[in-house]
Amino acid sequence: MASTQPTDEFTRKRQTQERRLIEEICYKRSCVRLAPSFPSEEEIQKKIRKFMRYIYSIVTSNSLFNGLAEVSATKSKLFARAEAALYKCRLEKVHMEVSNTMDRIRGAAEGLSMAYEVYGLLVLSDKALETSRDAFYDEEEQGVSLEPSFIADFVRKELDFLEELNHRIESEIREAQLQEQNESRVSEFEKVKNMISELREDFSKEWEQIRGQIDSQNDSMKSMKESIEAMGESLRNMSEAPARVPDIKPDSPRETSMEEDQGGAEDTDDQVEEDLLDFGEEYDYCDSISEVNGKCASADKVEHEQFSYPEKQRKMELGRRRCLIRAFLAGKSDVPERRISYLNSMRPEDTFLVCLFCLAKRHITRTAKICERPVEDEKNPMYSLSRQPS
C-alpha cells in the first residue's frame, strides 16, 4: 500500500502536465485560426530583430551593478553615523531598478518567443520557407546570433545575473533593517548610562543645596563667633571696670535710699558683696586706701561719665569697695591663712554672714573652729567692728 502511493502521485503529476500542454496547443491553434490575417515572413523577421535589439539595449545600457557597488561603499560610513535608514532607502531604490529591468527583459523575451513560434507555424504551413528560415537564423543582430536556442540562453543568463543581484540587494536590505532596529532600540547599556547621568544630575542638585546650607551655616557661625567675641570683650571690659572705678559716694540720703532700693533686685552674690562691704564702710584702715582711690579716680574718669545711670553707679561703688578690701588684706600680713573645713557647711539663714577672722563666706564665727586667731584678740580690727552696736 505504501509502495503504490508514490506511483499514483507521479502519475497524477504527469497527467496534469500532459493536459496543460494539450490546452496550450489548442489555444495556439485557435489564435491562428481566429487571426484576421496571418503575418508574412518579412514581418515576423522584423519583429524578431526588433525584440532582439530591445533586449540587447536593456542589457548593455543598465548600470545596476555599479550602482550597487557605490551604495555598498557608503555602508560603513552610514552605519557609523547611525544612518541605516538612509542606506536601506538607497538599497531599495537599486532593488526596484533591478526588478524593473528584469520585468522588461522578461516581457521582451516573451514577445521574441511568440515571434519564433509564429515563424515556426508559418514554416509548417509552407515547406518552401525552411531555407529562408535557416538563412535568417545564421544572421546576427548587433553581434548576437538570431538562432532561438542561443537567444534563449543569452536571456536566461542575463535574468539569472539580475536575480542573483536582486538576492544580494535583499540580503543587504535585511542587514540594514537589523542595524536600524539596533539604532532605534535603546540597549541595556544605554539605559544604565541614562540612569547614571540622571543620578549625577540629582546628586549635583542635592550637593548645591547642601553647599548652600553649609555656606549659610558658616555665615551664621561667623556671626555667632563675632557676637561671642564682642560679648567676651564686653565682659572683659566689665571685669576690668571695677578696678578702675572712681571714688563716688552718695551725696544725699535720697541717693542712699535709691541704692538700697536697687540693691533688692540683684542676685545673691551681689547682696553678699554689698553686706560684706557695709561692715567696712565707716573705717579707714591704712594709707593704701587713699592711694587706691587716687589710682581709680585718675584711670576711670572717662568711664564714670559713661556709666552715669544709677545701676552702673551702684556696681562701680561695689567695685571700689572691693578694691579697698583687697588693699586692706594685702597690707595685713598677720591675717591667718584660709583653711576651710567643708564638713562645716553653712545654714541657709547664715548665707549673708561672714567669718570675723578670715572674712570667708564659707562659715561664720561660731563654726570657724579652724581659724587660728581667737575672737578676743583686740588687735584684730574686725573685733572692734563686731563690737559695734547694730
> How far apart are alpha carbons 167 and 175 in whole angstroms?
13
The pLDDT assigned to 268 comes to 45
C-alpha cell at 213: 546650607
Predicted TM-score (pTM) of the model is: 0.42
pLDDT at 205 over 70: yes
Q: What is the pLDDT of residues 70-114, one digit of tens each?
A: 988 988 888 888 888 889 999 999 999 999 999 999 999 988 988
Sign of CA dihedral 133, 135, 137, 139: negative
> How far apart are alpha carbons 123 and 134 in whole angstroms?
11
For residue 279, name the pLDDT band (cuts at 50, 70, 90).
very low
C-alpha cell at 232: 567676651
